[in-house]
């Protein structure tokens, strides 16, 4: 194995899922500016995440509905001129 390719500055960091306030403590090298007081009374660096295993649809089994009709309308409005020209030409 190659020497000196892995970081050496591992420390305990709290990762917090902002969608449901779930937090867990683990070792990481991520840079953070915020800190949080953990359950053991110590203060640790805080890294906020958008999604974790407690809020991801794959792990929770709950799928979010996507507004596909809105997407189709946006697409049709964006390419309305091109679409009309093709249907008239054909």
Print the domain residue range for 80. 11-89
Q: Which residues of 34-43 are buried (b: 16+ CB within 10 A; e: fewer)?
A: eebeeeeeee
Residue 2 is assigned to a structural domain of this protein? no
Residue 3 is assigned to a structural domain of this protein? no
Helix orientation angle between 80-89 and 68-78, rounded to the nearest 10 degrees = 70
DSSP type of residue 41 = S
**Count of domains in the chain?**
1
Name the pLDDT band for 34 (thresholds 50, 70, 90).
very high
Q: pTM of the full predicted structure?
A: 0.60
Residue 5 is assigned to a structural domain of this protein? no
**What is the average per-residue pLDDT within 21-50?**
92
Cβ neighbour number for residue 83 with a 10 Å cutoff? 13
| pLDDT tens per residue, range 4-31 | 888 888 999 999 988 888 899 999 999 9
Name the pLDDT band for 1 (thresholds 50, 70, 90).
confident
Judged by phi (left if over 0) then psi (alpha if -120 to 50, else beta), residue 64 lies in beta
Task: Give the pLDDT confidence score for residue 73 in this predicted structure.
Answer: 77
Residue 4 is assigned to a structural domain of this protein? no
Residue 1 is assigned to a structural domain of this protein? no
Stronger pLDDT, 62 or 43, i.e. the higher one: 43
Question: What residues pair up with 7 in beta bridges, in sequence order?
Answer: none
């Amino acid at each position: 194995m190659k020497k000196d390719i892995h970081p050496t500055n591992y420390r305990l960091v709290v990762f917090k899922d902002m969608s449901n306030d779930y937090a867990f403590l683990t070792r990481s090298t991520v840079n953070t500016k915020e800190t949080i007081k953990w359950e053991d009374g110590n203060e640790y660096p805080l890294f906020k995440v958008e999604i974790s295993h407690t809020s991801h649809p794959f792990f929770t089994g709950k799928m979010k509905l996507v507004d596909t009709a809105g997407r189709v309308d946006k697409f049709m409005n964006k390419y309305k001129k091109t679409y009309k020209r093709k249907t008239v030409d054909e």
